[in-house]
Amino acid sequence: MERILTRNVGKEGSHTLAVYEASGGYRALRKALGAMTPDSVVQEVKRSGLRGRGGAGFPTGLKWSFMPKDSARPKYLICNADESEPGTFKDRVLLERDPHLVLEGCLVSAFAMGASAAFVYIRGEYVHAARVLERAIEEAYEKGYAGKDVLGSGFDCELVLHVGAGAYICGEETSLMSSLEGNRGYPRLKPPFPAQAGLWGCPTTINNVETLACVPFIVERGGDWFGGIGKPPKNTGPKLYALSGHVKRPGVYEAPMGLPLRELIQNLGGGMLRADRPLKAVIPGGSSVPVLAAEECDVDLDFESVAAKGSMLGSAAVIVMDSSTCMVRAIERVAHFYAHESCGQCTPCREGCGWMERVLARIERGAGRQEDLDLLLDVSSHILGHTICPLGDAAAMPVASFVTKFRSEFQYHVDHKKCMV
């Protein structure tokens, strides 16, 4: 297919304004400001079928429509660039290689919602990406694409870059807003939802980097064009897949939404790393989603198809594991991450994540008990659905799926005090 989101990736100087403008950059912003109304931009995005690319898959145009049209308070847009989930690195490619695409998406989206400022919240570890974005924002201001009276249209929009402090929890939208406000990154109860009371109590919409990068193409080429890519009507447009693990060519690949998982592994990823080590399992959407066993991997990578297999597309971070993988050690490392990153606000997550990590570590080092497997399932069930934010679910779902689908391997660890692979 035509490269759309990654069309500039690989070009020399792709991060600069000159290269971006030479490839048609900021034409969508000019079109939106000169020939469209905010409502018509929202309607075009609705027509496209674009769904959030950060993990939830919520319809973007519908989300925008929740913002009040008339508000006595300022309205804000936040670009969530706090890409911190293990296995996920697709947004970094856009931030480092084509930052103006992300900024143009922010500006067009802010115009559609009447937002007076767009904040880009980037994870603290993305030092190079932050520097690239900082320079790109300066270029945007210099050419009149941001600030007061953008391109002489009367539309005002400030671009603000905020670098986080390295907390995974701040990828959750309400924690992110707390952090932006200068407070500890604690999730908030909803309702009220951000569109009613978000950043500093003002109407706010939070969108993912890749989601916003799709917007200029929708405005320039039309929602019907975007909606014709992928698997209409529910899974449309191009998609970035972050492929890692035991494949020959790991990396970020652009393909139509709904690409078959085995095609991603075999054709784009070059196949399994070693021919004598067949596919054992795949995590299809980042470390927070249930694992798929090899026999479940005949699936299209779209929201509904992956859900039908009992997992989630999530951020489309595809982690491939071959037969040499110890499933106990793999999930123990995932559990360690979530135990470390839990903010501690909710008791089920704070205590449950710690328990799951300790029990898995015990099994992995050969000290497992016969009751441990059922204990893991019990603890995970008491976390699921009992926390303010999804981090608890993100920790519990993988543990439950690993134990359930590879129970014999966990039992071998308990019985023989060693790994079976």
**pLDDT per position as a tens digit, 359-402:** 999 999 999 999 999 999 999 999 999 999 999 999 999 999 99
Residue ranges of the alpha helices (H) in 182-252?
Answer: 209-221, 223-227
Distance CA 290, CA 144 (A): 46
Sign of the CA dihedral running 267, 269, 273, 277: negative
Q: Tens of pLDDT along 83-99? A: 999 999 999 999 999 99
Q: Tens of pLDDT along 6-48? A: 999 999 999 999 999 999 999 999 999 999 999 999 999 999 9
CATH code, residues 17-227: 3.40.50.11540
What 8-state DSSP symbol labels residue 59?
B
Helical axes 99-113 vs 27-35, angle rounded to 10° = 10
Model pLDDT, residue 408: 96
Which candidate, 16, 2, 55, places its Cα nearest to that of 217? 2
**155: which 2 tokens?**
């539309």
Domain extents in the chain: 17-227, 237-322, 327-416
Residue 374's contacts (CB-CB under 8 Å, 6 or more residues apart) are: none
- Quick check: 55 pLDDT over 90? no
Distance CA 218, CA 143 (A): 23
The fraction of the chain above a pLDDT of 90, given in percent, is: 97
Distance CA 214, CA 226 (A): 9
Model pLDDT, residue 394: 94
CATH code, residues 237-322: 3.10.20.600
Distance CA 95, CA 132 (A): 8
Contact status, residue 7 vs residue 216, Cβ threshold 8 Å: no
Average pLDDT, the chain: 96
Which candidate, 3, 235, 211, places its Cα nearest to that of 105? 211
- Quick check: 410 pLDDT over 90? yes
| Helix, strand, coil percentages, rounded to 5, for the chain | 45, 15, 40
CATH class in words for 327-416: mainly alpha
